[in-house]
Amino acid sequence: METDSTMTTKQSNRIANVHRKTKETDVSVYLNLDGSGSYQLNTGIPFFEHMLEQVARHGMVDLNIEASGDLHIDAHHTVEDVGITLGQAISQAIGNKSGIVRYGHAYVPLDEALTRSVIDFSGRPSLEFDVTFPRARVGDFDVDLVREFFQALCNHARITLHLTNLSGRNAHHIIESAFKAFSRSFRMAASLDPKSRGVIPSTKGTL
């Protein structure tokens, strides 16, 4: 539960810096939507950082995340608040969505695991998460936090995301294929469409 919060943001082109501080966490995110896949990550949660690496590399964004939180309790607040702050950074960097593709989709396998991700920069936060796991933890990481991360990200990036695992037996593989599929679909949706320069991709004229 959030008890105290301050947030500052700066935006330039498709770049955002967001800092969010509460009594539970302190999170800073730098995001460049037109990056090369570079990243610097420090959250204190190694498996989570491995998943965030996928966002940078397969989303082809530059991503720096510095997060400290109450890990002596558990990883929940830190993972959720990284999702919140990254979502805010996405919203800042994407701006009014003029000229973007808007929709993206990807199927990504990892050995026996296969996950589908479909995304819409709709301006309406929504998550359909059809992913189940054969065990409760991967190492020290609670698999329930995967949904918490994506829910927080969708809420604050104001995107619609359908994430569906189609096959898989290994929890690590399922989670990684989900992050990779999200990243590839995000890359497609956030890309600039050369046929729609300056045009908001909606018949309403706004998103």
pLDDT higher than threshold 60 for residue 181: yes
| pLDDT of the residue at 199 | 92
Domains and CATH numbers, the chain: 6-190 (3.30.230.40)
Q: Specify the pTM.
A: 0.94
Q: Which two tokens stand for residue 159?
A: 């995107």
The whole-number average pLDDT for the span 194-203 is 90
Q: What is the average pLDDT value for the chain, to the nearest integer? A: 94
Q: Phi/psi class of residue 69: alpha, beta or left (left: φ > 0; alpha: ψ in -120 to 50)?
A: beta
Concatenating the DSSP letter of every residue in the chain gives -----EEEEEEETTEEEEEEE-SSEEEEEEEETTS-S-EEEE-S-HHHHHHHHHHHHHHT-EEEEEEEE-TTT-SHHHHHHHHHHHHHHHHHHHTT-TTB--EEEEEEEETTEEEEEEEE--SS-EEEEE---SSSEETTEETHHHHHHHHHHHHHHT-EEEEEEEE-S-HHHHHHHHHHHHHHHHHHHHSB-TTSTT--SSTTS--
Distance, CA of 180 to CA of 52 (rounded, Å): 9
The whole-number average pLDDT for the span 73-101 is 97
Whole-number percent of the chain with pLDDT over 70: 94
Q: What is the pLDDT of residues 105-161, one digit of tens each?
A: 999 999 999 999 999 999 999 999 999 999 999 999 999 999 999 999 999 999 999
The whole-number average pLDDT for the span 195-204 is 90
| pLDDT of the residue at 4 | 46
Cβ–Cβ < 8 Å for 134, 153: no
| pLDDT of the residue at 198 | 87
- Candidates 114, 136, 122; CA nearest to 180 is 114
